[in-house]
Structure 1
Amino acid sequence: MPENIGMRLPRWFAERSAPAAPEEELRVSTVELFLDLVFVFTVTQLTALLARDFSPADALRAVLAFVLIWWIYGGYCWVTNHVPPVRTTRRVLLFTGMGGFLVIALALPKAFGDGPDGVWFAVGYLVVVLVHTFLYLQASSRALRLLPGNLGATALVFAAAYVDEPWRTGLWVLAVAVLIVSPYFIKQEGFPLHPGHIVERHGLLVIIVLGESIVAIGIGAGDLPLTADLVAAAVLGLALAATFWWMYFSDEAERAEHALLRIADPVRRTRLVLAGYFYAHIPMLLGVVGVAAGLKKLVAHPFDPLYPGPAIALGAGVSLFLVGELLFGRALALGGSPLRSAAAVLALASAGLGLVSGMAQLAVLVLIAGGVAALQRSHAARL
């Protein structure tokens, strides 16, 4: 099969397709942002799944579902990096993929139950996998390397809908394992990436996902009367989200782009993107989900003791974000505060304080995350 091919589409749908040249500057398009907004609905649903009863089983399910969804979302980031959605064909395909993501999100809260939602989750996943492959094939046949792993994981999710626990969760674990290890069995030549687009696309997604923690505050407040306690909790929740923004965007995004641009070898650059923008972002985004779920429960009665689930979600959420930041900095050789690991441990330990007062735990977490952000900013200023 030739390396670059044009798909044989019906005449009414066919367009000449070509990948973006590696030296061409590529920025994020509005249709990609539209896709991101649909994708973030899955994050909202994950928060709802976790906040349902904060059980370890639901936490595991949220992680498994997120990794599956994050894998294919990352695939869409890469394909629009290689094949920009500047033509009608590509945009229609992206809208079709959005439909698949919407089905995934709608099915997610009950995807591990006994009803048909697990099947619908798999149907949505199959749609986004096929659209992703179809888009990539407009530029290169190398995309076929990805298809066996993607279809294999989809088949496992389909099968999981027809078995009982613990086999159901076991098949989901296997599906995630297939996707996580598949990059090590795929030759990574032929996937040139535009660093500016990758950095901008993920940065915009992080901004949107951080907004989920603010939405969670509003949902938690609901129709409650506006009191000084509620306002204080909401402002502290915003402050915590702001520390996440500060850690991620205070010079680090720009330095990450420069670090990728300095890599001349496209295969090595691809591996760094995979390490920094796929693997390292998993704990970061899961951390935001945990914080959002905890804030949702805290804001209504901020000075009351939290139940163990929300307290652990808050502490683990900040801890995971810090771990993700640490992994991201190491993957791209950006450096950072050596105290970040200790701060992650302290954040997790703050759950004990939450059992006494949710507001006290939230205040301590703001101080921990804010301290790391300040140290990181000071370190970046000396570079």
Structure 2
Amino acid sequence: MLDTAASANACLRPLGPRFAFGYTREGSARSCIPRVISEEDNPVRHISWPRPVLTEATQRATLFEIFFDLVYVFALTRVIAFMGHPLTPLTLAQGLILLLLFWVTWTNYTWLGNQARADLGPVAAGTTLAMAAIFVAALVIPDAWQHGATTTGARLTLALAYIIPTALHLTLYFYAATGDRQLHTTLGIYATAVALAWIPLVLGAVLGGTAQTLLWAAAFLINFTGGGVLASRVSGWPVRSPSHFTERHGLVLIIALGESLVSVGVGAEPAVTHAPVLVAALLAFTSTVCLWWLYFKRSASAAGVALARASTKRRNQAAVNAYSWAHIALIAGVIYIALGIEQVLVHLTHNQPRHAAGTPLDWTSTLALYGGAFLYLAGRVTFLRFTVRSTPPGHLVAPGVALLLLPAARILPALAALGLLTVFLVALVVYEWLGGREQDPTADETTKL
């Protein structure tokens, strides 16, 4: 009798995470027959999991993560619309603050998806809830800095819609970090900074005006200091899949570049058949192609190789510096350029037929157009310095040239100002293309890692 019980208990022992058991009756005796079931075929696994499904080293971006990015397409569109109505130096700064806060939420979930599969189980459910909150935040952006009793509710809604995704992210990340003490330490440091950042965020929403601008900027800086500097240096954020991490950042940059094309449609709609407007649209398209080439053809792939080949410690630090933070300048630069392109087209459509090339842009519009180019090119230099650790002289000079062209662009007609920027970007592409391997910042650097 004891032998039978022992035998039955032995049958019920788990043989590992990839085994399930089916039970059959043969006469009066009970026996167990093991059969192998893959994780994908196991229906129980898709109902509830005691542990998260960790991201594998070869993981690529999932369709769910690309779907997640769609809510940021809407958010970026709303930020550009907010800055342009009306376009002032203050709205440029306020729009940048909104962009930075949205970037924090996006990069948080990119790190989470690199730790655990974003499209499975509780992580997918929590990420979907975060998407809903971010969507609401984007909806109320037009009232983000308005005055009045009704807009106070909009500001508080925006603050709350930011807090919810960050709180969900921390909860899901702690869940995904089960058993990893070092990652728990990192999350503890970051959670403290995040909670502290909520205070100026809510206080700024209540006060409004200048106080709101300063307090929301402080909220981002607290988050940046705690997550990007302190937590990463004290304990570190592990990169489980370099390919997944680099691909996610490339995809979000493509989304931002798409906003440059969307801005053409927004600005050109009233007079899309006019020749100067069509010329401006083609110039905007050419500029966007140049921006794409400068990153994806000259920087992204080799930087990804460098990240994959780096030591674990250096990889983790480079991921924070080059991707989580240097990419802010790339994204902000593209958004400002998109805003500047929209303003050029507005000038052209409103000055037909008196001024075929448009009147000169004001300083704010010119700053958006050329300051955006400066941010993008400077961000690329920083990105390369943190990854391949080498930048040719041409890369270093290009951001300064963009700024030097700004005063000249200010006195030119709007169409000529856009044309000057396009010529500069095309010349930069040709220079780097003709330079070939001699000017390639990544030609030999990956072997040094």
Query: Do they superpose with TM above 0.5?
Result: yes
Deviation at 1:185, TM superposition (A): 2.2
Paired residue for 2:38? none
Structure 1, unpaired ranges of 5+ = 1-10
Task: Give the Å deviation of 1:204.
Answer: 0.9
Equivalent residue, structure 2, for 1:294: 340
3-state SS, counterpart of residue 25 of structure 1: coil
Q: Does 1:372 align with 2:409?
A: no
For 1:271, the equivalent position in structure 2 comes to: 317
Q: Secondary structure at the match of 2:117?
A: coil
Q: Is 2:437 the counterpart of 1:381?
A: yes
**C-alpha separation between the residues in 1 aligned to 2:175 and 2:433?**
43
Of 59, 69, 75, the residue aligned with 2:92 is 59
Matched, 1:84 2:114: no
Bigger Cα displacement from structure 2, 86-95 vs 152-161: 86-95
CA contact (8 A) 2:61 2:247 kept: yes
1:15 to 1:98, Cα distance in 2 relative to 1, 3 A: same
Partner of 1:124: 161
**Quick one: distance in 1 between partners of 2:189 and 2:434?**
44
- The letter of the residue matching 1:373 is V
Larger radius of gyration: 2
SS at match of 2:224: helix
- Partner of 1:20, secondary structure, is coil
Equivalent of residue 413 in structure 2, options 357, 375, 379: 357
Distance in 2 (CA, whole Å) between partners of 1:133 and 1:287 is 29
Partner of 2:172: 135
Aligned runs of 1:257-336 on 2, under 5 Å?
257-265=304-312, 267-302=313-348, 303-304=357-358, 305-333=360-388, 335-336=390-391
Task: Determine if contact 1:230/1:301 at 8 Å carries over to the other structure.
Answer: no
The CA deviation string for residues 253-302 of structure 1, in whole angstroms up to 9 with x for no partner, is 1111110111122x321110111112211111111111111111212444
**2:389 matches 1:343:** no
Instruction: Quote the offset at 1:167 in angstroms.
Output: 2.1
Could you tell me which residue of structure 2 aligns to residue 5 of structure 1? none
Given candidates 199, 215, 235, the residue that maps to 1:171 is 215
Instruction: Find the residue that maps to 1:280 and give its secondary structure.
Output: helix
C-alpha root-mean-square deviation of aligned residues, in Å?
2.1
How far apart are the structure 2 equivalents of 1:263 and 1:177? 28
How many matched pairs?
371
Q: Distance in 1 between matches of 2:246 and 2:430?
A: 22
Residue 83 of structure 1 and its aligned partner are, at CA, apart by 0.7
Query: Aligned equivalents of 1:93 and 1:61: distance in 2?
Result: 29
Higher relative contact order, chain-length normalized (CA < 8 Å, sep 6+): 1
CA contact (8 A) 1:25 1:194 kept: yes
Other structure's SS at 1:217 match = helix
| Structure 2 contact 105–165 (Cα < 8 Å) conserved | yes
1:193 maps to 2:237: no
Of residues 147-156 and 68-77 in structure 1, the stretch that sits farther from structure 2 once superposed is 147-156
- The 8 Å contact of residues 384 and 391 in structure 2, kept in 1 or not, is answered as yes
SS across alignment from 1:223: helix
Partner of 1:222: 269
Distance in 1 of aligned mates of 2:340 and 2:229: 36
- In the TM superposition, structure 1's runs of 4+ consecutive aligned residues that sit over 6 Å from their partners are none
Change (3 A) 1:300 1:372: same
Deviation at 1:225, TM superposition (A): 4.5
Identity of aligned residues (%): 25
Structure 1 residues 355 and 13 mapped into 2: Cα distance closer, same or farther (>3 Å)?
Answer: farther
Q: What letter corresponds to residue 110 of structure 1 in structure 2?
A: D
Distance 1:154 1:139, change over 3 A: same
Which region of structure 1 is more displaced relative to structure 2, 242-251 or 140-149?
140-149
SS in 2 for 1:146: helix
Residue in structure 1 matched with residue 181 of structure 2 by the alignment? none
Taking a change above 3 Å as real, the CA distance of residues 153 and 328 of structure 1, as seen in their structure-2 partners, is same
The Cα shift of 1:151 comes to: 2.3
CA distance in 2, matches of 1:112, 1:152: 22
- What is the deviation of 1:18? 3.0
1:75, distance to aligned residue in structure 2 (A) = 0.9
Taking the TM superposition and a 5 Å limit, the aligned residue runs for 1:7-46 are: 14-20=48-54, 24-46=57-79
Secondary structure at the aligned position of 1:53 is classed as: coil
Asked if the contact 1:337–1:376 (Cα under 8 Å) also holds between the matched residues in 2, the reply is: no
TM-score, normalised to structure 1, is 0.90
Structure 2 alignment gaps of length 5 or more: 1-44, 179-183, 349-356, 444-449
CA deviations over 1:205-248 (Å, ceiling 9, x no partner):
11111000100000001232402111110000000011100011
